[in-house]
Structure 1
Amino acid sequence: MEANEEYIRRKAYIEDQGSQRQKELSEEIWSLQEKLAKWDTMNLREVLSDLDPKMEDTFWSPELPSYEPKNYLAEIQNSKNFGLLKYLVRNGYIDENYAAYVSYFYPNSPTAQDRNFLLSITDRASLEYVYHLDQPDAVLECLEEADFFHREVRNFDLLSYLLRTKGPHLRTLLQSAATDQSAHTFFVEFWRTGRRSTRAFRFICALCQEHPEWFRIWCESKSILLEGEWRLFVLDALYFLPPERLSRINKENWLTERISDDPKFLQLDSPNVQRLIPALKALSVRFSQIDYREEDISLVREVCQENLYTLNLSMLKTAMAVIWSIPPAEVESRSYTHILRHPG
């Protein structure tokens, strides 16, 4: 009996020690992963300043690829200029974009315009979103994945290129909004300045695929879109997305309800009726009230003829006015008789 108790005690002790060690290792792994993620967003100067002396010594003695000469590293370390090199690197005078400087003398390298953009990322000095890139593909070759989490990389030409080529970095660039809300300002401006264009079409489609929840976030936020601008954003989605894909952005029927409850939604300039009506039907929109202008009558008539409204007095007046030209004041006295005479 005592032997069994001793066995149980020792077994519990060993298991407890193993569990504790596993917890310590998990915490150590998490710490290293966190530090690695942090280093991914730092430039060379920042990395060096974050290293302790022992790790910095290791930094200056890296393992070289096999194709380098055997004494290549030793010759550099024994050079009288090695101290100067360390000073220049440690203080940011030579950084990871050194190749961008020296490539000026080589053919097929990024243009001066593009190099200026690349250097702005290194220097953390944002350029305007509309800054023109001569060769977005060449710029892309010079960027690391971590660069796409920096606001300096936000550029309309670069985003247009990623949307056109469906490059893998597109997802990373979109994900940057998860950690930096200012990214939404960039994406909204990209959409706003390119409405009804091919790039806007690609952007809306990419958003539906990668972040369908953004449609609701943008429409319900008071700080992302301008007042009333949500209608234009939603309208582009209705125009650009196939009816069967609208369900991705309509979780919990929020979009159906928002459109249905908005009396001014159909006040549109030059609407594309052939695209709009199928989209409204796909969302099962039912307007409870429609405030319309003279120029909106043809669209409102289509909506009424497709029964995209709830049956109430307000909508009955609207339907009879736009379909049969019956004045609102006469609807209550004539509606039943008129509908019987004109069932179609």
Structure 2
Amino acid sequence: MDEGADRHWPTDNDNNLTEVTKFFLLGFQVNYSLRIFLFCLLLGIYCGTICGNLLIITLVSTSKNVHTPMYFFISQLSVADVLLTNTIAPNMFHILLNGGATMTFASCITQFYFFDVAEASECLLLAVMSYDRYIAICNPLRYTSIMTCANCMKSALVSWLLAFSAILLDTITISKLIFCRSNIIDHFFCDYLPLIKIVCSDTFLVQLEVVLLSIPVIFIPTTIIIYSYVNIVLVILKISLSSGRQKAFSTCSSHLIVVSIFYGTLFGVYIVPTKGRTQTMSKILSLLYTVFTPMINPIIYSFRNEDIKKAACDWINKYIA
């Protein structure tokens, strides 16, 4: 017998006429044994994600041989991954152990805000990183003059400020909506689509705002990434020696893999039409970019990068061995 089976869950009829002040997140509606298995699996992934990203942040901060623009942006990406993971994971574990959990309205909106900030900042940082690779391969003689320490700091700061400010506008608008159809969210965190489904006030303004804000946060970064890699590929194809082409491609292959995974899952959830998609499939896709992608990023950048591996060995020998 599932331990959550006897719990009284609020029904849609309970909240038709009253404004919602709390939400009940259903999480994964599976039997207790499977929930425990998922808890252990995701807890292991969470620990690996935090350790891997904190290691990259530490190495970039302390190791001189990785004090370059590319590694600086990788460390910023790790900061975004840590923020994303810590925003989602703790409450997700609580939901798994209890077969659901209640969140106050303020907690739900706060989680929504910081989750979207992490996603938006990652979109912007990936675009800046693609521009960095574009300059390194397509205009190498001017690389040091363009990608200076000051310019890198400014690019990262603008990315974070734009993410925090753009998502704040969207969050304020969503917080002013009236949630009265139901207080049940069939998800494991407070995401945009599940929240909009239970709104009983007019959502035209917030949907328009999301479209407008997605231009600087998603579509312009995507355009920069595509433009950068089209030019990178054209330059690489002009290199006569195969060893030269391989060396040039290796400098951006890790970033390209991360971009493909991140945007593939992001577009799969929010851009691809959801008609015919089950809620279980939506949750699985959400797990990919909220749990697995932050874990994969440090693995890709560490295992495919000799500088990171060397810095890790030096750091271990210096502080641990």
Greater RCO, CA 8 A, separation 6+: 2
Q: TM-score normalized by structure 2?
A: 0.17
Q: TM-score normalized by structure 1?
A: 0.16
Larger Rg: 1
Higher helix proportion: 2
